[in-house]
Every structure is written in structure tokens, then in C-alpha cells.
């Protein structure tokens, strides 16, 4: 029990430090949101007289709190579940913005991550099983895919399939030229799937190589273990040896990595969402950082922090359970 | 950087799980596999290009040429919208990207050693503190952190970007190294050294580190690839180094200049390809390191192949035996190889 | 077919010109022609046929879009400005013509510029059915959020007349009052004056700024809000619009995050109207589906922190260095390579060439030098006591000239221009280092004055008169000490302060007499052309693309009846009112 208590204490401290950093990091950024807003408004021509006045009023409202007072208010609001209001998307509450973005990110990045994992594990197992054949020699080429810059892949895909061939849409999570917002209809669901295809392919292309490689290597090692040899010697069908003996054991370490990746799914995929105008959390984060939107930044950081910590914690629990030594050594 | 692929845990796990041997590298080096050779050639060619290229190409910042020329004699990769020679930029960019990659890799590995190995070996409050820092770094979104640090420095030079990338990338390797150091700590020879009264720094330096060497090497190569990809990602978001040319800033400019839509593939494709080729080269070397650390990876496929060939030759029943025997023989050659049971457990531990 | 159409447009332009003469007459002749009958004077009248095809617009919004149609809000969406809410007049930013009457029929200044009488259009309705009244106009000028500091009082003297009075001559604010103040319904807005909300810091916000006006905004404009999501919002034609029901039945404004995507969507024909930088516009127009106009208006300059008295530091504070840099720059190369040949020549007087020619004083150079003259630069520097070192760079008393030039990362044209300037300056012996910064850092350093050189833009004036620039960018009243942030509305980033310029600006603001203004401008120009607190480079392109296959009525080269960008209010509302389906 002491082990778990220590781990929980560790996570509590990490959480506190991370949340505090989330508070201070945005405030260390140069510029304030209104200066940036003015600069942006100037970028698109005249600023209406009324708006200039509004900015003055908004500036007046925020200037009198000390950093410490703000920090205390921040914790107070946080504990009440109030993440504040976004300046760039005024007057939408941050919780609402994140609430809107999260399903898209979880849906797309989550699915793509799972897909990439399953595909990588499957192909990796196959490559390991067929070790020494031509299938195995294909493995190194997957490292090439993994080393391509993410946005480069996305831009090339869009250029080829969306602009030149016009097979796939260019922007959005659904047909924004047709639907007036999400709705429950088969047409809409179809549109969502259609729009998710290229972004998902981008994610899978850039991440499948890692899983495949790791799995293949584990598979090769596992296949030369004595218990596998024994199983083969007993005359078990190769198929059974492959699935029950080799693959299951070889996939174990990959699962650990998979857990962490799932934690990071919440962060979305900054570049992918930017390139495809996909309404996810990563996109919110870029918007927030670029506009010094403190509340939004803090909210997004908080959600990501919590998700990653939760994933790590879960992994810790599982490991403590699977490997008793972890507990005893402490 | 949430967007930059993190070192794939499986792969590092696979490496970490190898039974530790005290002089593993030297023993199994002799066989130079095709992958290693290909990887070294790729890396060598690109490094050579980075070193020699800038001397034999024209000034990468000379706008005297015509803009947007397609590849032709004199401009083998064409020119950009400002009239810069793409080949010259690519060479200068290779230099920049390699500097960023290697510097960030070194920074990340050194920090990972401190926060991973020292924490894993020492335990207690030191471990708690170092792990806490690692944990926070792992959890905090890296991108805004980079922006904050970068915006505090008036000019974001190549070195600064490399430093930032290194500092924000150490947490992953640190976790891997820490768990491996933890398992090494309880090995007999380490315990023996402790009992013999050796000082901690010496134990870490002489007993623990050499056993972590292959793992370190592969983490280092990974960190380089990640840093180069990370630099490209930062540049795409407009946060790359300024005043220097890297493959990332080239891509950023090509993208901003509408290279793809204007049909200037010669401007957009080469930098991406170079990153991919260099990454592939490093990964191939990593493959080889994997095979050195874990001979099974090298021997088992070969064995399986010989089994198949034997089977083809009609010696099915006999064929199976020698193959397995071959592996077993090799393993007994390796000193201090752990049995399969513990091996499996350590893998989980990693 | 295109020929025929343009002839028709020319006729329309002639009619428009005629009506503006009427308006001019009304404005100048005072009491005599003051009450011209309402109705036929100007205003938008749709061309073409009625169409149900939805017009897709990108006005620069990024996702997520937050429904906000409050014209006083910082994040107000483009449809609100011009599409839903209208101004009294619509000024044509591109030509020296009289403004188009919108909610006002005419206006008149008293002799000393302290009283402005506005005659309103009759028979206008809010889209909720209420009548538009003079009280709405008074309210739009006097509510707490909108009231300008210079306005003393506003009164409705009868149903269609509003008199605005000022303590000081307010000629210079004519555009702000008539052309950029949106008229809002008192019966709706007064309900929300005590709305509360909180800002990002949790501080309380009160009043109209805290209101998003997202549900069925009530305006007088040609369109009404139909639906809004965080990816797009739609509008439908206002059947009771005073200018006649718009012929395009519905609009869709979409959010797009990357310029590349927008360009791709133009290529595939999915956007009907957008204003954005496209390096090779011919590629988009080559299919014949799109029309295109380039309307350069906004000057691109080097902001220099110029004034040591206010705390500026660096070699650029020496006027000789600025002058040398000014002649060392090869503007034609910058335009050709960095701005892809789409920008136009700039006048160092900041009068927009072609539109404001009459304001350029005698003896002033019409345009900045287009080619580099390194020898002239060297002569200026040597005259000022600089000597060329062995490294080829100039230095004074052993202290080499070293200046950092920043530009916002991702503004490709600016980044490229900065690189070219670095190269050109080097050829003249000046060490300028181009560097890129984040948007935040750019916004921060320019308002605080902690920079040496910034590649930046100047907002082109909204009427055919450079006064706005002289006052807001060059006068000492519109700046602060280095380290103190400029207030909203102050644009003098260079910290330039010159008593003679300030006096001339003041004099110009007090008169409506062209000769007196020209005289004051001559003084301003004489100083700024020499002192160069901003080093002029080019006038940047503003490229607008529009679907001519499905729609007609767009502003074109032949008939530039209004500034065409999709993001500019209130002119975009005028354009929307003019559109119709192509036959």
C-alpha cells in the first residue's frame, strides 16, 4: 500500500507543479492580448471607432490585479470548474471551446492512433513471424515514412488527392459548405468519415513505422524463447503458436507505449489540425499561444496535463500489478 | 511538442530489455550487416554534403539569380522565389539541421543521463526530486514552453533552438534510462562493487554506464532524428531559428512562397526528402545497434531462413533442430545472459 | 459579353458620379440644397438576376468561429460590419470621389467645424420591423461604449435630422463619424447596457462590450443572420432592405486556418469571394471562373525607432543612417521578388499615388527612389562623419553601424523583403541583420518602442487624403516614451516628434479649405521626407478574387465603385447589396 501512497503523492505534486506552470507560462509570454488584437485588426484595414473604444474599456478592466492575486483567483476558479473566458473567442467560456474541440480530437487522433497501433502490431508480428524472408526486408523502409516531417506529408497528400485529383476535401471535419453545424444524420456521419480520411492517413503514415519496428523486434526475440520452441516441438499448429504464444507476449511492452500515446491524444495534433483546418484541441492551443489568450491556454494545458497524468498513473498501476518487483524495490 | 513523434516506446523498450553485458558492443561488432552499411553510407553522404556542399555551391543567400527557375545546369535544383539557389540552400540547410540535431541530441542525452541514470541509481529523495522534474517535463506541453524560452532571447539562433529542443526532449529518454538503471542497480556485479566499498560516481561510471551504452547510443540517434523533425515542425509554425538556413526553414519558406501550388516541387520536395533520408540512415544504424545488443534479432532471421532453405531441400525434420541449436549456441557465448523468464519481466519493467 | 457588361457598369459609374455631385452640392450649398428629396440618391442597387446559389465567402476568419455580431466587440464577425449594421455613408477608399449615401442622405459642416448636421434617409426599417429613427443615430453616437471623446453633444432636431456638436473643429473626424460608426437600434442595444461578463482575468466587464449579440442581430443592412456554428455562419437576404431585396438569397462565411487551404479552395472553385495574398493570381484566374482585382492601398515601411529624446536606442536614431538606408534600398527588386511584382510605388509623402496626387506639395519627390544608389548612401554617411572600415561596413568613431531588422515570422512577403534589404544594405556598407519574431513579440516591441527597425505596415487612409497618417503615425501627440505602451488609436511607433509637424497637423485639422490643408501638408511632407521616421518601401497589394461565372456586380478595374475586400466593413456590405446572379 505504501507504494501506491507514494505514487499518488508523486502525482499530486506533479499535478500542482504543472498547473502552476500552466498559470505562469502564458504570463511570461511577451505582449498582452489586446496589443496583439490591435495588431491583428490593423492587418485587415480600418478599425471601427466603437471597437477602439471597447479595447480601451477592456484594457482598463484587467490592469489592476497583482500576479499573486491572479494566482489565487486562478486556483479558486479552477476548483469551481471555471476556466474563464477566451479573449480571442469572446465571450465564449473556455470550457465550452474545449468541450466542442475535444470530441473531434478524440475521434480523429484517437482513432488514428489506435489504427496505427493495430496496424503496426499486426504487420510487425507478421514481419517477425516471417523473419528472414522478403517481408522482413521491407521493415527498414518503414523508417523512411517515420522520418518524413508530418506537415510535409499532409501538404503533399492534400496537393495530390485534394487539389489535383479532387478526391478528398481540403478543409474541415465535415462539409462546412453544406452543413450548418453538427447534426444527427447519415449524410453528416458520412461527411465526417470522408473528411477524416486524409488527416487520419497522415497520422498513420507518420506513426505506424514505430509500432511495426518495435513489434517486429519483440516478435523475433520472443520466437526464439524456449517456451515457444517447446510449443512448436509439442506440435501445436503454427497459427496457435503465432497468436497465443508469440504475439501475445511480444505485444506486452508495446501496450505500455500505447498507453502513453493515448494520454497524448488529448493534445491533438497541432500541425495536422492546422493544415486541415480541423476543429481540435491542438488548433485551440495554437490560437491561444499566438494570441496570448491566457484563459484558453491554461484550459488547454490543464486538460492535456490531466490526460497525460491519468495515462501515466494508470500505467503505473498496471505495472505495479504485473511486476511485483516495482513495488518491493521502493 | 506534441506533434513531433515521440521516441516510440516499444522500440526503446525493446532495446532496454536486452540482457546487459559488460562489453557487448565490442564482442559482436565484426559482422557488418547490410542495414548498418546502408545507414552509414546514407549518413556519411549527407554529412559530407553538409561539410563540402557549402564550399562548392554558390552563396545560398545571393538573390542575383532569376526567381523560380526549374532545375537546369547551373542550378541543379532550381531557384526559390527570391532567386536563391536551392542546391546551395540545401547544403547550407544540411549544415544547420545537423548542428541542431546533434546539439539537441547531446543536450537531451546528457540531461537524460543526469535525470535518468542518477535518479535510477541513487533512489531516495534525489530520485524523487529528479523524477518529479522529469515527470513535469513529460506532462507540460512543450510547444508553449519553447515559445516562452525563445521569445526571451531576442535573436533565436540555431544554437538556442537546438538547446530548447534538447531541454524539452530529455524526459522521454530519461524515463527509459531510469528504469534500466534501476534494474541494473540490483545486478550482482553492481551490488558486489557497492559491497566492495566503491564510490557511487565510480560505480555509475564504471559499472552502470558501460552497460547502458547501446541503449544510450540508440536514444542519442533517436534524439537527433526527433530534434531535426522538431526543428522542421517549429519552423512550420514560424518558430524556427532566424538568421540561419535549415531544412526546416527551407520548408517553411517554400510553404509560405506557395511552392507546391506554383508547381515548384524542386523547392518543396528536396528538404523533406533530405530529412527523411537522414532519419532513415540513423534508424538503419539503430537497427544494427539493436541487432548487436540482442543477437537474436540478427541470428533468428538467419536461422529461420536456413530452416526454410533446408526444408526446401527436403530435410524438413532435421532442419528444425539445428536452427534452434544455432541460437542456443550463440547465447551461451554471451556472458551473463539472463534466462528467458527474467528477460521477459525486465521487458515489462522497461 | 464581358465588353457589354463593362459598358453597362461604366454607365452605372456615371450615374453614381452624378449622384455624388448632388450629394456634394447638398453638402456644400448649406441651407439652400440641404433638404434634397430622399430615395434616388446612390446607395446599393443590385445588379443581375435573383439567385439561390449560396455565395461562399472567406473574410479571413479562422476556426473556431465564435458567433459575435456586436459591432462594438473586438471579435465581431465580418458579416456584422456592413452586412447587418450600416454606417451613415460609405467612403470609397480607392478613389477621390464623394461618399455613397447609406443611412444618411447628406451632411453639412458649419464654418468652423464644430457642428455637423446629418440628414437621414427616410423609410428605413430595422430587420425586426421597427422603424429606423433619428434617435437611433443619436444613441449610436452617445452610448457609453461608442461615444468618441471629441463629441460634445448629439441631438435629433427632427425625424430625419441629427446635429452633432464638438468643442474643437472636427473636420478631421468626418470619416470616423460618418464612415466608420455603425448605427445600431436603440430599442435593442439599450436593453444590454448593463450586461455583465468577465474577461480573461476574471475581472468584471459591464456594458455593451460584454454582449455577443449572437441571437438574431437587429440591423438595417442587406442581410440577416441565419445560422452560426464554429466552422461557418450563414446569412439570408433581408427582404425589406431599403436598397431593395438583395438578389443573392444566401451567404456562407467559412473559417479557414491556413492561407494554403484557402488558395487550394480557390483552385478547386469552392470559395466565391475572398481577399488574400496569392503569389500567382493568373493561375487562379486562368480557368475563367474568377475575376480578380489588385487594389494596393497599405504602405509597407521600415518603422525606425527614431527619437532619442523619447528613449530610442540604436544606430538608426541618426537621421543620416536612415537617409543612407533609404537610398541604398532597391525598391523595384523588393517589389519584383518579395511582393511578386504586385505592389506599387510609394510616395515618401504617404499620399497614395493616383488617388492623392493633388496633396503632394510642389518640390516633393513623387515616389521614393526605385533603384539602389550605394554611392549616394556612402556620400550621406561620410558627410555625417562615418568612415568605411576594412570589413566594408561603415563605422563612426570606431563604433560600427549595426542594426537589427525584424519582421513577423510567416509574413512571407515581409520576411523576403527584409532579407533583400539586408543584402542591399550590405552592398552600401550598412550592416542590417534581418531576423524574424513571433506576432506577439512584434506587437509588443512596436507599441513599447523597444526595437531598431521593424518591417511593418501603415494603415492606408480610408479617404483620398493622407491626413490620417500624418496625425496618427507622425505627430508627437500620438506617441509615448519608449517603454510605455501606445494607447489604442495611437500609431506613432517611431516615437517621432517634431513641433513643426505637430503644428501643421493641428492647423490642417482645423480647416476644410483645400488650399489651407495643402499648405499645412507641405510643411509635414518637407519634414517627414527628410527625417524618414518610417522608411517607405512599397504600397502593398490587396488581392480580391470573386466568382464571375455565377455572380455579377463585383467592383472591377472599370468600375471600382467600392473597396472590394471581403473583410472590409462597411464597404463589403455595399458590395453584397450590389451582387446578383450572372445570367
Residues C307 and C317 sit within 8 Å (Cβ to Cβ): yes
Is there a contact between C555 and C6 (Cβ–Cβ < 8 Å)? no
Nearest to C413 by CA among C339, C473, C348: C339
Q: Residue range B31-44: average pLDDT? A: 82
What does the pLDDT read at residue B307?
72
Q: Is A81 on the interface with C (CB under 8 A)?
A: no
C280 to chain B: which residues are within 8 Å by CB? 258, 262
pLDDT of residue B337: 29
Q: Spell out which chain B residues touch chain C, with contact meaning CB-CB distance below 8 angstroms.
A: 61-63, 67, 81-83, 147, 150-151, 154-156, 238-240, 242-243, 252-253, 255-258, 260-262
Residue with cell 507599441: C447
Average pLDDT over residues B17-27: 44
Q: Touching check for A171 and chain C: CB below 8 Å?
A: yes
Task: Write down the pLDDT at residue B55.
Answer: 86
State pLDDT tens for residues B180-223.
787 777 778 888 888 888 888 888 888 788 777 877 888 898 88
Please, which pLDDT band fits residue B25 given cuts at 50, 70 and 90? very low
H or E element in which residue B235 lies: helix B209-236
- Could you write out the three-class secondary structure of C160-197? CEEEEEECCCCHHHHHHHHHCCCECCHHHHHHHCCCEE
Q: Closest by alpha carbon to A254, among B226, B116, B8? A: B8
- Under an 8 A CB cutoff, do C337 and B151 touch? no
pLDDT recorded at residue C436: 82
Q: Is residue B331 scored above 60 in pLDDT?
A: no
Which H or E run includes A311? helix A294-322
pLDDT: is B297 or C141 the higher one?
Answer: C141
β-strand pairing of C55-58 with C273-275: parallel
Residue pair A62/A87 in contact by the 8 Å Cβ criterion: no
Compare all CA atoms of chain A with the CA of C462 and give the residue at the minimum distance. Answer: A46
Cα separation of C490 and C468, whole Å? 11
- How close are the terminal C-alpha atoms of chain C, in Å? 11
Whether the bond between C64 and the residue before it is cis, its omega within 30 degrees of 0, is yes
Q: How do residues C236-284 score in pLDDT, each as one tens digit? A: 999 999 999 999 999 999 999 888 889 899 988 999 999 998 888 988 8
Report the alpha-carbon distance of residue B195 to residue B203 in Å, rounded.
Answer: 11
Is pLDDT at B116 greater than 90 in this prediction?
no
CB atoms within 10 A of CB C1: 7
Mean pLDDT of chain A: 80
Q: How many CA atoms lie within 13 A of A226 on its CB side?
A: 9
Instruction: Return the C-alpha cell found at B167.
Output: 531541454
Smallest Cα distance from A97 to chain B, Å: 18
Instruction: Tell me the chain C residues in contact with residue A293 when contact means C-beta distances shorter than 8 Å.
Output: 200
Question: In which residue are the cell numbers 550605394 written?
Answer: C374
CB A219 within 8 A of CB A127: yes
Asked if the Cβ–Cβ distance from A14 to B132 is below 8 Å, we say yes
- Distances B335 to B21, B28, B182, B193, C12 between C-alpha atoms, Å: 7, 12, 21, 18, 95
Tell me which residue in B63, B242, B255 faces C260 most closely, judged by beta carbons.
Answer: B255
End-to-end CA distance of chain A: 11
**CA gap B209, B90 in Å, rounded:** 38
B278 close to A (CB below 8 A): yes
Distance from CA of C247 to the nearest CA of A (A): 20
With cut-offs at 50, 70 and 90, classify the pLDDT of residue B134.
Answer: confident
Q: Does B40 contact A at CB distance below 8 Å?
A: no
Segments of chain C with pLDDT less than 50: 1-42
User: What is the predicted pLDDT for the residue at C307?
Assistant: 93
Distance set, CA B316 to CA A235, A237, B309 (Å): 14, 16, 9
Q: Are A70 and B191 in contact (CB under 8 A)?
A: no
In chain B, what residues touch A150 (CB-CB under 8 Å)? 3-5, 229, 233
* Site of grid cell 513471424: A129
| Mean pLDDT of the residues in chain B | 74
Cis upstream peptide for A31 (omega within 30°): no
H helix runs in C245-373, sequence order:
259-267, 281-285, 319-328, 331-333
Say whether pLDDT at A238 is over 70. Answer: yes
Q: Closest partner residue to C567 among A30, A45, A61, by Cβ?
A: A45
Of B310 and B55, which is predicted with more confidence? Answer: B55
Closest chain B residue to C335, measured at CA: B82
Is residue A89 very low, low, confident or very high in pLDDT (cuts 50, 70, 90)? confident
- ipTM entry: 0.84
- Our CA-based measurement puts residue C337 at a distance from the nearest CA of chain B, in whole angstroms, of 5
Alpha carbon distances (Å) from C140 to A50, C137, C210: 9, 5, 17
Output A208 or C56, whichever has higher pLDDT: C56
Nearest CA in chain B to C408: B238
Between B67, B253, B262, which is nearest C337 by CB?
A: B67
C310 contacts C482 by C-beta, under 8 angstroms: yes
**Nearest residue to A108 (alpha-carbon basis) of A188, A152, A173, A157:** A173
Instruction: Among A25, A140, A253, select the one facing B148 at the smallest CB separation.
Output: A25
The Cβ of residue C124 has, within 10 Å, a number of other Cβ atoms equal to 20
Sheet (strand C431-437) strand order: C431-437, C402-408, C453-457, C298-304, C534-540
Q: What are the φ and ψ backbone dihedral angles of C456, each rounded to 5 degrees?
A: -145, 175
C-beta atoms of C264 and B151 within 8 A: no
Q: Is B64 exposed, middle or buried (0-12, 13-18, 19+ CB in 10 A)?
A: exposed
Strand, coil or helix: what is C134? helix
By C-alpha distance, which of C466, C474, C532, C529 is closest to C499?
C474
C30 to chain A nearest CA, in Å? Answer: 27
C-alpha cell at A198: 486524409
Quickly state the pLDDT bin for A7 (edges 50, 70, 90).
confident
Q: Helix B171-185 vs helix B158-169: angle between axes, to the nearest 10 degrees?
A: 40
Q: Which of B132, B108, B138, B346 is nearest to B226 (CA)?
A: B108
Interchain pair A146, B272: CB under 8 A: no
Q: What's residue B154's pLDDT?
A: 56
Distance (Å, rounded) from C-alpha B168 to C-alpha A56?
A: 38
Amino acid at each position: 500500500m505504501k507504494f501506491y501512497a507514494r505514487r499518488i503523492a508523486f502525482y499530486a505534486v506533479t499535478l500542482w507543479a504543472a498547473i502552476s506552470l500552466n498559470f505562469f507560462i502564458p504570463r511570461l509570454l511577451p505582449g498582452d492580448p489586446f496589443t496583439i488584437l490591435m495588431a491583428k485588426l490593423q492587418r485587415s484595414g480600418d478599425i471601427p471607432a466603437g471597437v477602439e473604444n471597447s479595447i480601451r474599456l477592456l484594457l482598463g478592466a484587467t490592469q489592476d490585479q497583482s500576479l499573486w492575486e491572479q494566482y489565487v483567483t486562478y486556483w479558486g476558479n479552477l476548483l469551481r470548474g471555471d476556466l474563464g473566458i477566451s479573449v480571442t473567442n469572446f465571450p465564449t467560456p473556455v470550457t465550452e471551446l474545449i468541450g466542442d474541440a475535444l470530441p473531434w480530437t478524440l475521434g480523429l487522433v484517437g482513432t488514428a492512433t489506435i489504427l496505427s497501433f493495430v496496424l503496426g502490431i499486426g504487420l510487425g508480428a507478421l514481419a517477425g513471424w516471417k523473419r528472414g524472408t522478403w517481408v522482413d526486408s521491407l521493415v527498414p523502409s518503414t523508417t523512411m515514412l517515420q522520418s518524413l516531417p508530418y506537415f510535409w506529408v499532409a501538404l503533399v497528400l492534400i496537393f495530390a488527392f485534394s487539389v489535383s485529383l479532387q478526391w478528398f476535401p481540403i478543409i474541415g471535419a465535415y462539409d462546412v459548405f453544406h452543413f450548418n453545424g453538427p447534426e444527427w444524420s447519415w449524410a453528416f456521419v458520412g461527411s465526417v468519415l470522408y473528411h477524416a480520411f486524409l488527416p487520419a492517413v497522415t497520422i498513420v503514415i507518420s506513426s505506424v513505422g514505430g509500432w511495426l519496428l518495435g513489434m517486429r523486434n519483440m516478435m523475433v526475440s520472443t520466437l526464439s524463447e524456449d517456451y515457444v520452441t517447446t510449443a512448436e516441438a509439442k506440435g501445436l499448429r503454427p497459427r496457435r503458436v503465432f497468436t497465443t504464444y508469440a504475439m501475445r507476449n511480444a505485444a506486452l511492452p508495446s501496450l505500455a507505449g500505447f498507453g502513453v500515446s493515448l494520454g497524448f491524444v488529448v493534445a491533438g495534433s497541432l500541425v495536422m489540425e492546422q493544415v486541415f483546418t480541423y476543429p481540435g484541441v491542438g488548433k485551440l492551443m495554437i490560437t491561444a499561444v499566438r494570441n496570448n489568450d491566457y484563459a484558453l491556454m491554461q484550459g488547454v494545458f490543464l486538460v492535456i496535463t490531466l490526460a497525460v497524468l491519468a495515462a501515466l498513473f494508470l500505467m503505473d498501476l498496471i505495472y505495479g500489478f504485473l511486476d511485483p518487483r516495482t513495488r518491493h524495490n521502493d | 511538442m506534441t506533434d513531433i513523434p515521440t521516441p516510440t516506446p516499444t522500440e526503446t523498450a525493446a532495446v532496454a530489455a536486452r540482457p546487459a553485458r559488460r562489453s557487448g558492443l565490442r564482442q559482436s561488432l565484426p559482422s557488418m550487416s547490410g542495414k548498418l552499411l546502408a545507414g552509414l553510407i546514407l549518413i556519411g553522404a549527407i554529412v559530407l554534403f553538409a561539410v563540402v556542399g557549402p564550399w562548392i555551391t554558390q552563396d545560398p543567400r545571393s538573390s542575383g539569380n532569376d526567381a523560380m527557375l526549374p532545375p537546369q545546369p547551373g542550378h541543379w535544383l532550381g531557384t526559390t522565389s527570391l532567386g536563391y539557389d536551392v542546391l546551395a540552400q540545401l547544403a547550407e540547410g544540411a549544415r544547420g539541421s545537423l548542428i541542431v540535431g546533434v546539439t539537441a541530441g547531446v543536450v537531451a542525452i546528457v540531461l537524460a543521463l543526469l535525470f535518468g541514470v542518477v535518479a535510477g541509481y541513487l533512489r531516495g529523495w534525489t530520485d524523487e526530486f529528479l523524477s518529479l522534474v522529469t515527470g513535469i517535463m513529460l506532462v507540460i506541453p512543450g510547444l508553449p514552453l519553447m515559445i516562452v524560452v525563445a521569445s526571451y532571447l531576442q535573436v533565436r539562433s540555431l544554437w538556442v533552438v537546438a538547446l530548447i529542443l534538447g531541454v524539452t526532449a530529455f524526459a522521454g529518454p530519461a524515463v527509459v534510462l531510469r528504469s534500466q538503471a534501476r534494474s541494473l542497480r540490483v545486478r550482482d556485479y553492481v551490488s558486489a562493487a557497492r559491497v566492495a566499498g566503491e564510490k557511487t560516481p565510480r560505480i555509475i561510471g564504471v559499472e552502470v554506464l558501460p552497460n547502458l551504452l547501446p541503449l544510450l547510443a540508440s536514444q542519442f540517434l533517436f534524439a537527433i532524428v526527433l530534434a531535426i523533425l522538431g526543428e522542421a515542425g517549429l519552423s512550420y509554425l514560424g518558430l524556427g531559428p532566424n538568421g540561419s538556413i535549415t531544412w526546416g526553414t527551407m520548408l517553411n519558406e517554400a510553404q509560405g512562397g506557395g511552392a507546391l501550388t506554383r508547381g515548384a516541387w524542386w523547392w518543396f520536395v528536396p528538404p523533406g526528402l533530405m530529412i527523411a533520408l537522414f532519419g532513415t540512415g540513423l534508424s538503419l544504424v539503430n537497427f544494427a545497434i539493436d541487432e548487436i545488443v540482442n543477437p537474436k534479432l540478427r541470428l533468428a532471421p538467419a536461422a529461420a531462413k536456413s530452416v526454410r532453405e533446408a526444408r526446401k531441400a527436403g530435410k524438413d525434420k532435421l532442419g528444425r533442430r539445428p536452427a534452434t541449436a544455432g541460437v542456443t549456441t550463440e547465447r551461451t557465448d554471451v556472458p551473463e545472459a539472463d534466462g528467458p523468464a527474467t528477460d521477459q519481466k525486465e521487458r515489462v519493467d522497461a | 459579353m464581358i465588353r457589354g457588361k463593362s459598358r453597362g457598369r461604366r454607365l452605372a459609374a456615371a450615374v453614381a458620379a452624378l449622384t455624388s455631385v448632388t450629394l456634394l452640392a447638398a453638402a456644400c450649398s448649406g441651407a439652400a440644397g440641404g433638404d434634397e428629396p430622399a430615395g434616388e440618391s446612390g446607395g446599393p442597387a443590385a445588379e443581375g438576376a435573383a439567385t439561390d446559389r449560396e455565395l461562399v465567402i472567406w473574410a479571413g476568419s479562422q476556426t473556431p468561429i465564435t458567433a459575435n455580431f456586436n459591432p462594438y466587440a473586438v471579435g465581431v464577425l465580418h458579416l456584422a460590419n456592413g452586412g447587418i449594421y450600416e454606417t451613415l455613408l460609405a467612403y470609397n477608399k480607392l478613389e477621390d470621389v464623394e461618399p455613397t449615401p447609406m443611412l444618411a442622405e447628406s451632411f453639412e459642416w458649419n464654418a468652423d467645424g464644430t457642428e455637423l448636421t446629418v440628414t437621414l434617409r427616410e423609410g428605413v426599417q430595422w430587420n425586426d420591423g421597427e422603424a429606423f429613427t433619428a434617435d437611433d443615430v443619436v444613441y449610436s453616437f452617445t452610448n457609453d461604449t461608442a461615444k468618441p471623446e471629441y463629441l460634445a453633444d448629439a441631438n435629433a432636431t427632427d425625424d430625419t435630422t441629427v446635429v452633432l456638436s464638438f468643442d474643437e473643429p472636427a473636420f478631421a473626424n468626418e470619416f470616423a463619424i460618418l464612415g466608420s460608426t455603425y448605427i445600431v437600434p436603440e430599442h435593442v442595444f439599450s436593453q444590454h447596457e448593463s450586461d455583465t461578463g468577465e474577461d480573461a482575468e476574471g475581472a468584471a466587464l459591464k456594458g455593451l462590450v460584454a454582449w455577443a449579440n449572437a441571437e438574431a442581430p437587429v440591423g438595417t443592412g442587406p442581410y440577416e443572420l441565419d445560422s452560426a456554428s464554429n466552422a461557418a455562419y450563414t446569412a439570408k437576404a433581408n427582404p425589406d432592405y431599403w436598397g431593395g431585396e438583395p438578389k443573392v438569397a444566401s451567404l456562407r462565411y467559412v473559417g479557414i486556418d491556413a492561407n494554403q487551404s484557402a488558395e487550394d479552395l480557390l483552385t478547386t472553385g469552392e470559395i466565391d469571394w475572398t481577399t488574400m495574398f496569392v503569389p500567382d493570381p493568373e493561375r487562379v484566374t486562368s480557368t475563367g471562373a474568377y475575376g480578380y482585382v489588385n487594389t494596393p492601398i497599405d504602405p509597407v515601411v521600415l518603422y525606425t525607432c527614431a527619437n532619442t529624446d523619447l528613449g530610442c536606442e540604436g544606430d538608426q536614431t541618426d537621421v543620416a543612417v536612415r537617409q543612407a538606408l533609404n537610398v541604398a534600398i532597391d525598391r523595384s527588386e523588393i517589389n519584383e521578388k518579395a511582393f511578386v511584382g504586385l505592389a506599387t510605388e510609394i510616395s515618401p509623402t504617404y499620399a497614395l499615388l493616383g488617388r492623392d496626387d493633388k496633396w503632394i506639395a510642389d518640390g516633393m519627390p513623387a515616389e521614393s527612389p526605385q533603384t539602389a544608389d550605394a554611392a549616394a548612401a556612402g556620400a550621406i554617411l561620410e558627410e555625417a562623419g562615418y568612415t568605411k572600415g576594412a570589413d566594408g561596413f561603415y563605422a563612426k568613431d570606431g563604433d560600427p553601424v549595426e542594426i537589427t531588422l525584424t519582421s513577423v515570422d510567416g509574413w512571407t512577403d515581409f520576411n523576403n523583403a527584409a532579407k533583400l534589404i539586408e543584402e542591399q544594405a550590405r552592398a552600401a556598407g550598412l550592416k542590417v541583420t534581418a531576423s524574424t519574431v513571433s506576432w506577439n513579440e512584434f506587437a509588443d516591441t512596436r507599441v513599447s518602442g523597444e526595437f531598431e527597425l521593424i518591417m511593418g505596415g501603415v494603415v492606408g487612409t480610408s479617404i483620398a487624403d493622407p491626413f490620417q497618417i500624418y496625425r496618427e503615425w507622425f505627430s508627437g501627440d500620438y506617441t509615448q516614451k519608449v517603454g510605455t505602451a501606445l494607447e489604442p488609436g495611437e500609431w506613432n511607433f517611431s516615437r517621432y516628434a517634431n513641433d513643426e509637424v505637430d503644428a501643421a497637423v493641428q492647423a490642417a485639422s482645423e480647416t476644410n479649405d483645400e488650399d489651407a490643408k495643402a499648405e499645412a501638408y507641405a510643411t509635414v511632407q518637407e519634414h517627414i521626407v527628410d527625417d524618414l521616421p518610417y522608411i517607405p518601401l512599397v504600397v502593398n497589394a490587396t488581392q480580391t478574387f470573386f466568382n464571375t461565372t455565377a455572380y455579377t456586380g463585383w467592383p472591377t478595374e472599370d468600375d471600382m465603385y467600392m473597396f472590394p475586400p471581403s473583410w472590409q466593413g462597411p464597404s463589403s456590405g455595399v458590395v453584397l447589396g450590389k451582387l446578383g446572379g450572372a445570367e
